[in-house]
């Protein structure tokens, strides 16, 4: 299984957990520039964030989004 997440570590203990996971070879820490996010994708996110600020009522919770994704995957 390979998944990518971008994290902002806010607490020292969380950093320690990540280091432990690295030692167990469970995660690989990559520098942000190694992520290679295409510019078109960054622009798409910026556009969606602007729309969300204009129309916050269109937002859905993560729980609802997950449920919809699971239904689509069937």
pLDDT in tens, 14-36: 888 989 999 999 988 877 665 67
What is the number of alpha carbons within 13 Å of residue 45 lying toward its C-beta? Answer: 5
pTM beyond 0.75, yes or no = no
The candidate with the shortest Cα–Cα distance to 59, out of 48, 44, 46, is: 48
């Amino acid at each position: 299984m390979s998944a990518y997440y971008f994290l902002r570590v806010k607490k020292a203990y969380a950093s320690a957990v990540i280091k432990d996971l690295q030692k167990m070879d469970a995660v690989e820490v990559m520098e942000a520039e190694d992520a290679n996010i295409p510019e078109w994708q960054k622009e798409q996110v910026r556009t969606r964030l602007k729309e969300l600020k204009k129309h916050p009522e269109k937002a859905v919770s993560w729980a609802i989004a997950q449920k919809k994704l699971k239904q689509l995957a069937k």
